[in-house]
């Protein structure tokens, strides 16, 4: 079959799916408002990375749009770790704050693990605290990382039941690859994880029904990695300089070649990115309910 005869893959519309998640979050936040509760999200940004500033601004705007009060804490990269820990202790104790997100990466002078462990696990809307990571691995109803949870929702929408499918995750970071593998395992997939030391990664990926790519290498995964008919989720966000000097956003997947062979694929932009933000709002609502439920049960004693 020539390229002209192949049918193009279905585009998985992350913006539309995110709007549905956000509509549900907005309904829930209105219901909480009837009880006098307004969810609050604190976003902490250290350093001047322009991409991070764009994400944080997008998050704040979306929060307000669905009835979540948002609080921004910005520092330059001279901020001391102890000062950040003091702020987190204050946010943990503040009943107006239900979710806390510390934008990553942090400057090299700050111990990322120490900072993430200083967030109250019940306010950990990124799902990066060890208690929530452990809960995810054990299949408990923990706060789970936003990006892989968003990917899973897109996959379920596209494929329905995932049980028995062979899923290959490319990348093993703590924020995307590892929690993605855990979520797919919980959906009864057989999961393989590819990383920088994998041997013959293309041949392994080519066995997969589902491929999730989070490597941070622009357009690394091309059609040679993909079995005809596979479903492909592209987590990558890379800024690429064009000849005319403008920058363009590209994923970790070579969209042009993969779209000819996959059955469905997420675009960049408009795929996983909007889902990450929507799931952050979803987790903020979940965290708010969690905190108020435990306050009520404490009141019984
Ligand atoms: N859309 C969204 O909401 C989000 C997008 N992103 C994007 O997703 C991408 C990945 O992010 P993140 O997980 O944080 O990245 P990291 O850099 O933390 O991890 C990259 C992973 O890819 C693996 N890897 C690197 N090169 C290769 C290779 N040649 N072959 C196989 N595996 C390789 C690394 O392997 P090893 O462990 O062996 O080093 C590592 O496990 C980035 O483009 C990032 O911008 C991230 C978060 C959210
Ligand atoms: N503690 C923490 N939690 C995170 O969830 C986190 C983080 N740190 N650090 C950085 C990464 C990256 N990330 C993105 C979120 C939204 C888009 C997004 O909205 N992307 C749009 C395009 C945005 C644009 O045009 O730049 C899209 O793909 O359509 C992208 C990337 C969250 N991250
Ligand atoms: Mg996230």
ipTM of the shown complex: 0.98
Look at the domain 145-273 and name its fold: Rossmann fold (3.40.50)
Average pLDDT over residues 138-153: 97
- Whether 174 has a pLDDT exceeding 60, the answer reads yes
Q: Which ligand has its closest atom nearest to the C-alpha of 271?
A: 2
DSSP H/E element including 276 = helix 272-299
Please check whether the two domains, 36-122 and 145-273, share a CATH topology: yes
- Report the nearest-CA residue for atom 16 of ligand 1: 173
Please give all residues whose beta carbon lies within 6 A of any atom in ligand 2, as ranges. 54-55, 58, 101-104, 126, 146-147, 237, 249, 268-270, 273-274, 276-277
Q: When comparing pLDDT for 247 and 84, which is higher?
A: 84
> 206 by DSSP, 3-state: which?
coil
Burial of 190 (0-12, 13-18, 19+ CB in 10 A): middle
What is the DSSP pairing of strand 10-11 with strand 238-241?
A: unpaired
Phi, psi dihedral angles at 105 (to 5 degrees): -75, 155
Is any atom of ligand 1 closer than 6 Å to the C-beta of 276? Answer: yes
CB 84 within 8 A of CB 73: no
Lowest mean pLDDT segment, chosen from 24-28, 142-146, 250-254, 294-298: 294-298
Q: Which CATH number does the domain 36-122 belong to among 3.40.50.10860, 3.40.630.10, 3.40.50.720, 3.40.50.11060?
A: 3.40.50.10860
Looking at residue 300, its pLDDT comes to 67
Q: How far is CA 187 from CA 51, 113, 156, 196, 262, in A?
A: 33, 28, 10, 26, 21
> 155 by DSSP, 3-state: which?
helix
Alpha carbons 204 and 201: distance in angstroms, whole number: 5
Domain-wise residue ranges, the chain:
36-122, 145-273
Q: State the distance from the centre of ligand 2 to the C-alpha of 241, rounded, in angstroms.
A: 19
Rounded percentage of the chain residues whose pLDDT exceeds 70:
97
99 DSSP β-pair partners = 41
């Amino acid at each position: 079959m020539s390229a002209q005869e192949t049918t193009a893959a279905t585009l998985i519309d992350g913006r539309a799916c995110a709007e549905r998640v956000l509509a549900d979050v907005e309904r829930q936040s209105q219901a909480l408002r009837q009880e006098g509760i307004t969810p609050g999200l604190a976003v902490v940004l250290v350093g001047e990375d322009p991409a991070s500033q764009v994400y944080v601004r997008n998050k704040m705007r979306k929060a307000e749009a669905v009835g979540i009060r948002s609080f921004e804490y910005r520092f330059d990269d001279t901020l001391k770790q102890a000062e950040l820990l003091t702020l987190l202790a204050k946010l943990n104790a503040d009943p107006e704050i239900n979710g806390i997100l510390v934008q990553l990466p942090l400057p090299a002078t700050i111990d990322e693990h120490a900072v993430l462990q200083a967030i109250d696990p019940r306010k950990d809307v990124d799902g990066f605290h060890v208690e929530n990571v452990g809960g995810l691995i054990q299949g408990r109803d923990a706060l789970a990382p936003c990006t892989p949870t968003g990917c899973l929702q897109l996959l379920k929408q596209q494929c329905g039941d995932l049980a028995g499918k062979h899923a290959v995750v490319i990348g093993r970071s703590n924020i995307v690859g590892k929690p993605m593998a855990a979520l797919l395992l919980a959906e009864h997939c057989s999961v393989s994880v590819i990383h920088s030391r994998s041997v013959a990664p293309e041949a392994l990926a080519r066995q997969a029904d589902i491929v999730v790519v989070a490597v941070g290498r622009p357009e690394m995964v091309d059609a040679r990695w993909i079995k005809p008919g596979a479903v492909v989720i592209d987590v990558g966000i890379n800024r690429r300089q064009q000849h005319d000097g403008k920058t363009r956003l590209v994923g970790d997947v070579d969209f042009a070649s993969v779209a000819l062979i996959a059955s469905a694929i997420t675009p960049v932009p408009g795929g996983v990115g909007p889902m990450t933000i929507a799931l952050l709002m979803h987790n903020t609502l979940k965290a708010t309910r969690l905190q108020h439920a435990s306050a009520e049960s404490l009141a019984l004693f």
